Structure 1
Amino acid sequence: MTNRLVCLGDSFTEGVGDDDPTAPNGVRGWADRVAEVLGARDPEFRYANLAIRGKLLPQVLAEQVEPALAMVPDLVTLYAGGNDLMRPKVDVDALTDAYEGTVERLRASGARVVLFTGVDGVEDALFRTIRGRVAIYNEHVRGIAARHGALLVDMWAMRQLRDRRLWAADRLHLNALGHTEIAIELLGLLGIEHDLTPARLGPRPRLSPRERRAENLRWSREHAMPWVQRRLRGESSGDALSPKRPTLEPAGSAFSPHN
Protein backbone atom coordinates (compact mmCIF):
# COMPACT_ATOMS: atom_id res chain seq x y z
CA MET A 1 0.00 0.00 0.00
CA THR A 2 1.27 3.47 -0.91
CA ASN A 3 -0.07 6.44 1.01
CA ARG A 4 2.85 8.91 1.10
CA LEU A 5 4.25 9.68 -2.36
CA VAL A 6 7.03 12.22 -2.86
CA CYS A 7 8.31 13.01 -6.38
CA LEU A 8 11.75 14.53 -6.99
CA GLY A 9 13.39 15.86 -10.12
CA ASP A 10 13.24 18.45 -12.88
CA SER A 11 10.73 19.49 -15.56
CA PHE A 12 9.86 15.89 -16.44
CA THR A 13 8.45 15.28 -12.96
CA GLU A 14 7.09 18.80 -12.49
CA GLY A 15 4.93 18.18 -15.57
CA VAL A 16 6.26 20.74 -18.05
CA GLY A 17 4.73 20.31 -21.51
CA ASP A 18 1.37 19.30 -20.06
CA ASP A 19 -0.06 22.79 -19.65
CA ASP A 20 -2.94 23.23 -17.19
CA PRO A 21 -3.69 26.76 -15.92
CA THR A 22 -5.65 25.32 -12.97
CA ALA A 23 -2.66 23.32 -11.68
CA PRO A 24 0.19 24.57 -9.48
CA ASN A 25 2.98 26.11 -11.62
CA GLY A 26 0.57 25.87 -14.57
CA VAL A 27 1.39 22.24 -15.40
CA ARG A 28 -0.07 18.85 -14.61
CA GLY A 29 2.06 15.86 -15.72
CA TRP A 30 2.41 12.15 -15.05
CA ALA A 31 3.03 12.48 -11.31
CA ASP A 32 -0.26 14.30 -10.74
CA ARG A 33 -2.06 11.65 -12.76
CA VAL A 34 -0.51 8.85 -10.72
CA ALA A 35 -1.37 10.67 -7.49
CA GLU A 36 -4.98 11.10 -8.59
CA VAL A 37 -5.33 7.36 -9.20
CA LEU A 38 -3.70 6.44 -5.88
CA GLY A 39 -5.74 9.03 -4.01
CA ALA A 40 -8.98 7.64 -5.38
CA ARG A 41 -8.09 4.27 -3.84
CA ASP A 42 -7.13 5.50 -0.37
CA PRO A 43 -8.55 8.53 1.47
CA GLU A 44 -5.38 8.63 3.60
CA PHE A 45 -3.12 9.03 0.57
CA ARG A 46 -0.89 12.13 0.50
CA TYR A 47 1.30 13.50 -2.30
CA ALA A 48 4.16 16.01 -2.60
CA ASN A 49 6.05 17.08 -5.73
CA LEU A 50 9.33 18.95 -5.19
CA ALA A 51 10.49 18.90 -8.82
CA ILE A 52 11.43 22.18 -10.51
CA ARG A 53 12.16 22.66 -14.20
CA GLY A 54 15.72 23.37 -15.28
CA LYS A 55 17.39 21.72 -12.29
CA LEU A 56 20.64 19.84 -12.76
CA LEU A 57 21.12 16.54 -10.98
CA PRO A 58 23.40 17.96 -8.24
CA GLN A 59 20.81 20.66 -7.54
CA VAL A 60 18.00 18.11 -7.29
CA LEU A 61 20.01 16.03 -4.82
CA ALA A 62 21.11 19.03 -2.75
CA GLU A 63 17.74 20.79 -2.60
CA GLN A 64 15.07 18.09 -2.66
CA VAL A 65 16.31 14.96 -0.90
CA GLU A 66 16.37 16.23 2.68
CA PRO A 67 12.87 17.76 2.51
CA ALA A 68 11.65 14.51 0.96
CA LEU A 69 13.15 12.33 3.71
CA ALA A 70 11.64 14.61 6.35
CA MET A 71 8.18 13.67 5.02
CA VAL A 72 8.87 9.96 5.70
CA PRO A 73 7.49 8.81 2.33
CA ASP A 74 6.78 5.18 1.54
CA LEU A 75 7.22 5.76 -2.21
CA VAL A 76 9.71 8.16 -3.85
CA THR A 77 10.16 8.80 -7.56
CA LEU A 78 13.48 10.25 -8.72
CA TYR A 79 14.50 11.38 -12.16
CA ALA A 80 17.32 13.83 -12.79
CA GLY A 81 20.26 14.17 -15.14
CA GLY A 82 18.54 15.04 -18.40
CA ASN A 83 19.59 18.67 -18.18
CA ASP A 84 23.15 17.63 -17.33
CA LEU A 85 23.35 15.35 -20.36
CA MET A 86 22.46 18.27 -22.64
CA ARG A 87 25.43 20.32 -21.43
CA PRO A 88 28.52 20.44 -23.70
CA LYS A 89 30.56 18.46 -21.15
CA VAL A 90 29.37 16.03 -18.52
CA ASP A 91 31.03 13.33 -16.41
CA VAL A 92 28.34 10.65 -16.51
CA ASP A 93 30.24 8.39 -14.10
CA ALA A 94 30.54 11.08 -11.43
CA LEU A 95 26.95 12.11 -12.03
CA THR A 96 25.59 8.64 -11.44
CA ASP A 97 27.87 7.99 -8.45
CA ALA A 98 26.10 10.82 -6.64
CA TYR A 99 22.77 9.51 -7.91
CA GLU A 100 23.47 6.06 -6.48
CA GLY A 101 24.39 7.44 -3.08
CA THR A 102 21.03 9.19 -2.92
CA VAL A 103 19.11 6.08 -3.99
CA GLU A 104 20.89 4.16 -1.24
CA ARG A 105 19.80 6.75 1.33
CA LEU A 106 16.20 6.74 0.11
CA ARG A 107 16.04 2.95 0.24
CA ALA A 108 17.61 2.91 3.71
CA SER A 109 14.73 5.11 4.89
CA GLY A 110 12.35 2.26 4.11
CA ALA A 111 10.78 3.88 1.04
CA ARG A 112 10.26 2.14 -2.24
CA VAL A 113 12.07 4.06 -4.98
CA VAL A 114 11.15 4.45 -8.65
CA LEU A 115 13.86 5.45 -11.15
CA PHE A 116 13.63 6.27 -14.86
CA THR A 117 15.92 5.81 -17.83
CA GLY A 118 16.19 8.52 -20.46
CA VAL A 119 14.19 8.37 -23.69
CA ASP A 120 15.73 7.04 -26.90
CA GLY A 121 16.05 10.09 -29.14
CA VAL A 122 17.08 8.19 -32.26
CA GLU A 123 14.35 9.75 -34.41
CA ASP A 124 14.96 13.35 -33.35
CA ALA A 125 17.91 15.33 -34.71
CA LEU A 126 18.50 17.17 -31.41
CA PHE A 127 18.40 14.16 -29.09
CA ARG A 128 20.24 11.92 -31.54
CA THR A 129 23.43 13.94 -30.98
CA ILE A 130 23.52 12.92 -27.30
CA ARG A 131 22.11 9.42 -27.76
CA GLY A 132 25.39 7.77 -26.79
CA ARG A 133 25.76 9.53 -23.46
CA VAL A 134 22.07 8.93 -22.66
CA ALA A 135 22.62 5.21 -23.30
CA ILE A 136 25.60 5.19 -20.90
CA TYR A 137 23.56 7.07 -18.29
CA ASN A 138 20.76 4.55 -18.71
CA GLU A 139 23.06 1.59 -18.11
CA HIS A 140 24.21 3.21 -14.87
CA VAL A 141 20.60 3.77 -13.81
CA ARG A 142 19.67 0.16 -14.58
CA GLY A 143 22.59 -1.03 -12.45
CA ILE A 144 21.63 1.30 -9.59
CA ALA A 145 18.05 0.04 -9.67
CA ALA A 146 19.19 -3.59 -9.63
CA ARG A 147 21.70 -3.11 -6.80
CA HIS A 148 19.31 -1.28 -4.52
CA GLY A 149 16.00 -2.97 -5.30
CA ALA A 150 14.47 0.09 -6.95
CA LEU A 151 11.66 -0.07 -9.49
CA LEU A 152 12.53 1.11 -12.98
CA VAL A 153 10.44 2.83 -15.65
CA ASP A 154 12.47 2.11 -18.76
CA MET A 155 11.53 5.00 -21.03
CA TRP A 156 14.26 3.96 -23.50
CA ALA A 157 12.22 0.82 -24.18
CA MET A 158 8.92 2.71 -24.57
CA ARG A 159 8.98 2.92 -28.35
CA GLN A 160 5.77 4.95 -28.44
CA LEU A 161 7.74 7.88 -27.01
CA ARG A 162 9.60 8.16 -30.31
CA ASP A 163 6.41 9.59 -31.83
CA ARG A 164 6.73 13.39 -31.75
CA ARG A 165 2.97 13.70 -31.38
CA LEU A 166 3.51 12.75 -27.72
CA TRP A 167 5.80 15.75 -27.25
CA ALA A 168 5.20 19.44 -26.68
CA ALA A 169 6.06 22.06 -29.28
CA ASP A 170 9.46 22.68 -27.64
CA ARG A 171 10.50 19.08 -28.50
CA LEU A 172 12.08 18.79 -25.04
CA HIS A 173 9.05 17.90 -22.93
CA LEU A 174 6.21 15.44 -23.19
CA ASN A 175 2.71 16.78 -23.80
CA ALA A 176 -0.45 15.55 -22.05
CA LEU A 177 -0.51 12.39 -24.16
CA GLY A 178 3.13 11.63 -23.38
CA HIS A 179 2.73 12.26 -19.65
CA THR A 180 -0.26 9.92 -19.65
CA GLU A 181 1.92 7.19 -21.18
CA ILE A 182 4.40 7.58 -18.31
CA ALA A 183 1.61 7.45 -15.72
CA ILE A 184 0.26 4.26 -17.30
CA GLU A 185 3.72 2.67 -17.27
CA LEU A 186 4.35 3.56 -13.63
CA LEU A 187 0.94 2.42 -12.43
CA GLY A 188 1.46 -0.87 -14.25
CA LEU A 189 4.82 -1.25 -12.54
CA LEU A 190 3.10 -0.74 -9.18
CA GLY A 191 0.36 -3.19 -10.08
CA ILE A 192 -2.35 -0.53 -9.70
CA GLU A 193 -5.55 -0.71 -11.75
CA HIS A 194 -6.65 2.49 -13.47
CA ASP A 195 -8.74 3.85 -16.32
CA LEU A 196 -6.06 5.91 -18.06
CA THR A 197 -6.06 5.38 -21.82
CA PRO A 198 -2.92 5.21 -23.99
CA ALA A 199 -2.74 7.38 -27.08
CA ARG A 200 -4.09 5.91 -30.31
CA LEU A 201 -2.83 8.27 -32.96
CA GLY A 202 -2.74 6.14 -36.10
CA PRO A 203 -0.08 6.50 -38.81
CA ARG A 204 2.25 9.44 -38.52
CA PRO A 205 1.70 12.26 -41.01
CA ARG A 206 4.35 12.66 -43.68
CA LEU A 207 5.84 16.11 -44.09
CA SER A 208 7.39 17.37 -47.30
CA PRO A 209 10.97 18.67 -47.08
CA ARG A 210 9.61 22.21 -47.34
CA GLU A 211 7.13 21.65 -44.50
CA ARG A 212 9.85 20.10 -42.36
CA ARG A 213 12.20 23.04 -42.94
CA ALA A 214 9.47 25.49 -42.02
CA GLU A 215 8.67 23.52 -38.88
CA ASN A 216 12.34 23.40 -37.86
CA LEU A 217 12.78 27.14 -38.44
CA ARG A 218 9.73 27.89 -36.32
CA TRP A 219 11.03 25.64 -33.54
CA SER A 220 14.46 27.29 -33.67
CA ARG A 221 12.95 30.76 -33.40
CA GLU A 222 10.36 30.02 -30.72
CA HIS A 223 12.14 27.48 -28.55
CA ALA A 224 15.80 26.78 -29.35
CA MET A 225 17.03 30.38 -29.38
CA PRO A 226 15.37 31.36 -26.07
CA TRP A 227 16.92 28.24 -24.49
CA VAL A 228 20.39 29.16 -25.78
CA GLN A 229 19.99 32.74 -24.62
CA ARG A 230 19.08 31.62 -21.10
CA ARG A 231 22.17 29.41 -21.00
CA LEU A 232 24.40 32.31 -22.11
CA ARG A 233 22.95 34.47 -19.33
CA GLY A 234 23.37 31.68 -16.78
CA GLU A 235 19.62 31.54 -16.20
CA SER A 236 17.24 28.62 -15.77
CA SER A 237 13.57 28.36 -16.64
CA GLY A 238 12.89 27.41 -13.03
CA ASP A 239 14.79 30.23 -11.31
CA ALA A 240 11.64 32.06 -10.20
CA LEU A 241 9.63 28.95 -9.33
CA SER A 242 8.99 27.04 -6.12
CA PRO A 243 7.99 23.37 -5.89
CA LYS A 244 4.42 22.89 -7.10
CA ARG A 245 3.48 20.76 -4.07
CA PRO A 246 6.04 21.38 -1.31
CA THR A 247 4.19 19.46 1.40
CA LEU A 248 2.20 16.24 1.58
CA GLU A 249 -1.43 16.95 0.73
CA PRO A 250 -4.47 14.91 -0.29
CA ALA A 251 -4.32 13.99 -3.96
CA GLY A 252 -7.63 15.71 -4.58
CA SER A 253 -5.89 19.05 -4.07
CA ALA A 254 -3.29 18.25 -6.74
CA PHE A 255 -5.17 20.24 -9.32
CA SER A 256 -6.10 23.29 -7.24
CA PRO A 257 -3.79 26.33 -7.43
CA HIS A 258 -2.09 27.06 -4.13
CA ASN A 259 0.92 29.15 -5.06
Structure 2
Amino acid sequence: MASFHPDRPALVRRLRAAGCVYAEDEAELLIAAAGSAADLTDLVDRRVGGRPLEHLLGWAEFCGRRVAVDPGVFVPRGRTALLVSAAAAVAGPTPAVLDLCCGSGAAALVLHDRLAPRWLAAADIDHAAVACARRNLDPLGVPVYEGDLFAPVPVQWRGRLDLVVANAPYVPTGAVALMPAEARLHEAPVALDGGADGLAVLRRVAAGAAEWLAPGGHLAVEVSAGQVEALRGVLAATGLAPTVVYDEDLEATAVTARRPG
Protein backbone atom coordinates (compact mmCIF):
# COMPACT_ATOMS: atom_id res chain seq x y z
CA MET A 1 0.00 0.00 0.00
CA ALA A 2 1.43 3.36 -1.03
CA SER A 3 2.19 5.71 1.88
CA PHE A 4 1.38 8.70 -0.34
CA HIS A 5 -1.89 9.65 -2.03
CA PRO A 6 -1.57 9.68 -5.82
CA ASP A 7 -4.21 11.20 -8.07
CA ARG A 8 -5.33 7.95 -9.70
CA PRO A 9 -7.75 9.45 -12.25
CA ALA A 10 -5.08 11.88 -13.48
CA LEU A 11 -2.52 9.09 -13.66
CA VAL A 12 -4.89 6.88 -15.67
CA ARG A 13 -5.65 9.72 -18.07
CA ARG A 14 -1.96 10.35 -18.65
CA LEU A 15 -1.21 6.69 -19.29
CA ARG A 16 -4.20 6.31 -21.59
CA ALA A 17 -3.16 9.39 -23.56
CA ALA A 18 0.25 7.77 -24.06
CA GLY A 19 -1.42 4.72 -25.60
CA CYS A 20 -1.46 2.34 -22.64
CA VAL A 21 -4.45 0.11 -23.34
CA TYR A 22 -4.69 -1.20 -19.78
CA ALA A 23 -4.12 2.18 -18.15
CA GLU A 24 -6.06 1.42 -14.97
CA ASP A 25 -4.15 -1.78 -14.29
CA GLU A 26 -0.82 -0.17 -15.12
CA ALA A 27 -1.55 2.73 -12.79
CA GLU A 28 -2.09 0.40 -9.87
CA LEU A 29 1.06 -1.57 -10.62
CA LEU A 30 3.16 1.59 -10.86
CA ILE A 31 1.72 2.95 -7.62
CA ALA A 32 2.52 -0.33 -5.88
CA ALA A 33 6.09 -0.24 -7.21
CA ALA A 34 6.75 3.36 -6.16
CA GLY A 35 8.18 4.13 -2.73
CA SER A 36 7.26 7.80 -2.87
CA ALA A 37 5.48 10.40 -4.95
CA ALA A 38 8.82 11.26 -6.60
CA ASP A 39 9.38 7.59 -7.46
CA LEU A 40 5.92 7.40 -9.00
CA THR A 41 6.51 10.50 -11.08
CA ASP A 42 9.75 9.02 -12.38
CA LEU A 43 8.13 5.66 -13.21
CA VAL A 44 5.21 7.27 -15.00
CA ASP A 45 7.49 9.61 -16.95
CA ARG A 46 9.52 6.65 -18.17
CA ARG A 47 6.40 4.62 -19.00
CA VAL A 48 4.90 7.50 -20.96
CA GLY A 49 8.28 7.81 -22.68
CA GLY A 50 7.91 4.27 -24.00
CA ARG A 51 9.71 2.05 -21.51
CA PRO A 52 8.14 -1.41 -21.18
CA LEU A 53 6.06 -1.71 -18.03
CA GLU A 54 7.84 -4.95 -17.13
CA HIS A 55 11.26 -3.27 -17.22
CA LEU A 56 9.98 -0.59 -14.85
CA LEU A 57 8.43 -3.09 -12.45
CA GLY A 58 11.36 -5.50 -12.69
CA TRP A 59 9.10 -8.47 -13.41
CA ALA A 60 6.61 -9.91 -15.88
CA GLU A 61 3.75 -12.30 -15.27
CA PHE A 62 4.11 -15.48 -17.30
CA CYS A 63 2.03 -18.63 -16.92
CA GLY A 64 1.01 -17.54 -13.43
CA ARG A 65 4.57 -16.86 -12.31
CA ARG A 66 6.39 -13.59 -11.64
CA VAL A 67 9.55 -13.67 -13.71
CA ALA A 68 12.33 -11.15 -13.07
CA VAL A 69 12.99 -9.05 -16.20
CA ASP A 70 15.92 -6.63 -16.37
CA PRO A 71 16.15 -3.55 -18.63
CA GLY A 72 17.09 -4.52 -22.16
CA VAL A 73 15.97 -8.13 -21.76
CA PHE A 74 13.22 -9.62 -23.93
CA VAL A 75 9.90 -9.49 -22.08
CA PRO A 76 8.12 -12.89 -22.12
CA ARG A 77 4.90 -12.66 -24.15
CA GLY A 78 1.60 -14.13 -23.10
CA ARG A 79 1.32 -16.06 -26.38
CA THR A 80 4.44 -18.05 -25.48
CA ALA A 81 2.30 -19.94 -22.97
CA LEU A 82 1.28 -22.07 -25.98
CA LEU A 83 4.91 -22.96 -26.68
CA VAL A 84 5.41 -24.05 -23.07
CA SER A 85 2.22 -26.12 -23.07
CA ALA A 86 3.05 -27.74 -26.40
CA ALA A 87 6.55 -28.57 -25.17
CA ALA A 88 5.28 -30.07 -21.92
CA ALA A 89 2.77 -32.21 -23.83
CA VAL A 90 5.51 -34.02 -25.78
CA ALA A 91 8.24 -34.11 -23.14
CA GLY A 92 7.66 -37.53 -21.65
CA PRO A 93 8.55 -38.52 -18.05
CA THR A 94 11.58 -37.00 -16.29
CA PRO A 95 13.03 -35.52 -19.48
CA ALA A 96 16.38 -33.89 -20.16
CA VAL A 97 15.44 -30.37 -21.29
CA LEU A 98 17.27 -27.44 -22.86
CA ASP A 99 15.74 -23.96 -23.19
CA LEU A 100 17.52 -22.16 -26.05
CA CYS A 101 17.27 -18.41 -26.68
CA CYS A 102 16.04 -18.38 -23.10
CA GLY A 103 15.84 -14.62 -22.51
CA SER A 104 14.77 -14.16 -18.91
CA GLY A 105 14.49 -17.93 -18.44
CA ALA A 106 10.70 -17.77 -18.25
CA ALA A 107 10.04 -21.00 -20.19
CA ALA A 108 12.61 -22.96 -18.19
CA LEU A 109 11.13 -21.62 -14.95
CA VAL A 110 7.67 -22.92 -15.81
CA LEU A 111 8.89 -26.21 -17.31
CA HIS A 112 10.88 -26.89 -14.14
CA ASP A 113 7.61 -27.02 -12.21
CA ARG A 114 5.56 -28.85 -14.84
CA LEU A 115 7.98 -31.58 -15.87
CA ALA A 116 10.22 -32.49 -12.92
CA PRO A 117 13.08 -32.95 -15.41
CA ARG A 118 16.11 -35.07 -14.61
CA TRP A 119 18.23 -32.33 -16.22
CA LEU A 120 17.27 -28.81 -17.22
CA ALA A 121 19.45 -26.02 -18.56
CA ALA A 122 19.04 -22.76 -20.46
CA ALA A 123 21.22 -20.81 -22.87
CA ASP A 124 21.30 -17.43 -24.59
CA ILE A 125 23.80 -15.42 -26.60
CA ASP A 126 22.93 -12.10 -24.95
CA HIS A 127 24.92 -11.32 -21.79
CA ALA A 128 22.14 -9.28 -20.14
CA ALA A 129 19.63 -12.07 -20.77
CA VAL A 130 21.97 -14.67 -19.27
CA ALA A 131 22.44 -12.57 -16.13
CA CYS A 132 18.67 -12.15 -15.80
CA ALA A 133 17.97 -15.84 -16.42
CA ARG A 134 20.50 -16.77 -13.77
CA ARG A 135 18.64 -14.63 -11.24
CA ASN A 136 15.47 -16.56 -12.04
CA LEU A 137 16.97 -20.03 -12.34
CA ASP A 138 19.91 -20.17 -9.91
CA PRO A 139 17.58 -20.80 -6.94
CA LEU A 140 16.33 -23.90 -8.75
CA GLY A 141 19.80 -25.19 -9.51
CA VAL A 142 19.27 -24.73 -13.26
CA PRO A 143 22.48 -23.75 -15.10
CA VAL A 144 22.36 -20.96 -17.68
CA TYR A 145 25.02 -20.99 -20.39
CA GLU A 146 26.17 -17.98 -22.41
CA GLY A 147 26.88 -18.53 -26.08
CA ASP A 148 25.47 -19.18 -29.53
CA LEU A 149 22.66 -21.75 -29.47
CA PHE A 150 24.08 -25.22 -28.60
CA ALA A 151 27.74 -24.11 -28.57
CA PRO A 152 28.07 -23.54 -24.79
CA VAL A 153 26.05 -26.63 -23.76
CA PRO A 154 28.08 -29.49 -22.21
CA VAL A 155 28.94 -31.85 -25.04
CA GLN A 156 27.92 -34.94 -23.07
CA TRP A 157 24.29 -34.00 -23.74
CA ARG A 158 24.68 -34.19 -27.51
CA GLY A 159 22.23 -36.84 -28.74
CA ARG A 160 20.70 -37.28 -25.26
CA LEU A 161 18.19 -34.43 -24.92
CA ASP A 162 14.51 -35.33 -24.76
CA LEU A 163 13.25 -31.80 -25.32
CA VAL A 164 14.70 -28.63 -26.81
CA VAL A 165 12.53 -25.52 -26.42
CA ALA A 166 13.51 -22.44 -28.41
CA ASN A 167 11.65 -19.15 -28.45
CA ALA A 168 14.07 -17.97 -31.12
CA PRO A 169 13.64 -14.61 -32.89
CA TYR A 170 11.35 -14.96 -35.93
CA VAL A 171 10.51 -11.39 -36.95
CA PRO A 172 11.82 -10.72 -40.49
CA THR A 173 14.50 -8.03 -40.50
CA GLY A 174 12.35 -5.70 -42.58
CA ALA A 175 9.48 -5.95 -40.09
CA VAL A 176 11.47 -5.13 -36.96
CA ALA A 177 10.99 -1.41 -37.61
CA LEU A 178 7.22 -1.98 -37.56
CA MET A 179 7.23 -3.49 -34.08
CA PRO A 180 5.92 -1.47 -31.10
CA ALA A 181 8.51 1.03 -29.93
CA GLU A 182 8.75 -0.49 -26.47
CA ALA A 183 10.02 -3.71 -28.07
CA ARG A 184 12.27 -2.44 -30.86
CA LEU A 185 13.82 0.33 -28.75
CA HIS A 186 14.14 -1.40 -25.39
CA GLU A 187 14.75 -5.09 -26.09
CA ALA A 188 17.94 -6.58 -27.52
CA PRO A 189 17.84 -6.70 -31.36
CA VAL A 190 19.30 -10.21 -31.21
CA ALA A 191 16.09 -11.34 -29.48
CA LEU A 192 13.85 -9.90 -32.22
CA ASP A 193 15.54 -10.10 -35.63
CA GLY A 194 15.10 -13.45 -37.38
CA GLY A 195 16.84 -12.55 -40.62
CA ALA A 196 15.44 -11.87 -44.08
CA ASP A 197 12.48 -14.27 -43.82
CA GLY A 198 12.43 -14.55 -40.04
CA LEU A 199 13.66 -18.16 -40.07
CA ALA A 200 17.45 -17.69 -40.09
CA VAL A 201 17.91 -18.60 -36.42
CA LEU A 202 15.24 -21.30 -36.50
CA ARG A 203 17.06 -23.03 -39.37
CA ARG A 204 20.15 -23.26 -37.17
CA VAL A 205 18.10 -24.40 -34.19
CA ALA A 206 16.54 -27.18 -36.28
CA ALA A 207 19.91 -28.33 -37.64
CA GLY A 208 21.37 -28.43 -34.13
CA ALA A 209 18.35 -30.16 -32.63
CA ALA A 210 18.69 -33.00 -35.15
CA GLU A 211 22.08 -33.72 -33.55
CA TRP A 212 21.36 -32.92 -29.92
CA LEU A 213 18.01 -34.66 -29.49
CA ALA A 214 17.84 -38.28 -28.45
CA PRO A 215 15.90 -40.59 -30.78
CA GLY A 216 12.24 -39.90 -30.08
CA GLY A 217 13.04 -36.48 -28.60
CA HIS A 218 11.24 -33.27 -29.57
CA LEU A 219 12.04 -29.73 -30.59
CA ALA A 220 9.41 -27.09 -29.71
CA VAL A 221 9.47 -23.60 -31.22
CA GLU A 222 7.25 -20.56 -31.66
CA VAL A 223 6.60 -19.01 -35.07
CA SER A 224 4.04 -16.86 -36.87
CA ALA A 225 1.17 -18.55 -38.67
CA GLY A 226 2.42 -17.24 -42.00
CA GLN A 227 5.78 -18.97 -41.54
CA VAL A 228 4.45 -22.44 -40.75
CA GLU A 229 4.74 -24.01 -44.18
CA ALA A 230 8.27 -22.76 -44.70
CA LEU A 231 9.26 -24.00 -41.26
CA ARG A 232 7.72 -27.40 -41.96
CA GLY A 233 10.07 -27.69 -44.91
CA VAL A 234 13.05 -26.64 -42.80
CA LEU A 235 12.28 -29.25 -40.14
CA ALA A 236 11.59 -32.04 -42.61
CA ALA A 237 14.91 -31.33 -44.34
CA THR A 238 16.72 -32.01 -41.05
CA GLY A 239 14.85 -35.27 -40.53
CA LEU A 240 12.45 -33.96 -37.89
CA ALA A 241 8.71 -34.68 -38.14
CA PRO A 242 6.69 -31.50 -37.38
CA THR A 243 3.28 -31.00 -35.77
CA VAL A 244 1.61 -27.58 -35.66
CA VAL A 245 -0.41 -26.29 -32.70
CA TYR A 246 -2.58 -23.16 -32.86
CA ASP A 247 -4.35 -21.15 -30.17
CA GLU A 248 -6.74 -18.55 -31.53
CA ASP A 249 -7.31 -16.92 -28.14
CA LEU A 250 -3.59 -16.34 -27.65
CA GLU A 251 -3.07 -15.63 -31.37
CA ALA A 252 -0.16 -18.04 -31.08
CA THR A 253 1.43 -20.77 -33.17
CA ALA A 254 3.84 -23.41 -31.90
CA VAL A 255 5.50 -26.24 -33.77
CA THR A 256 6.81 -29.42 -32.21
CA ALA A 257 9.09 -31.69 -34.22
CA ARG A 258 10.08 -35.26 -33.31
CA ARG A 259 13.38 -36.90 -34.08
CA PRO A 260 12.49 -40.35 -35.43
CA GLY A 261 13.57 -43.45 -33.60
TM-score (norm 2): 0.36
Q: Which has the higher strand share?
A: 2
> Looking at both structures, which has the greater relative contact order when contacts are Cα pairs under 8 Å and sequence separation is at least 6?
1
Using structure 1 for the length normalisation, give the TM-score: 0.37
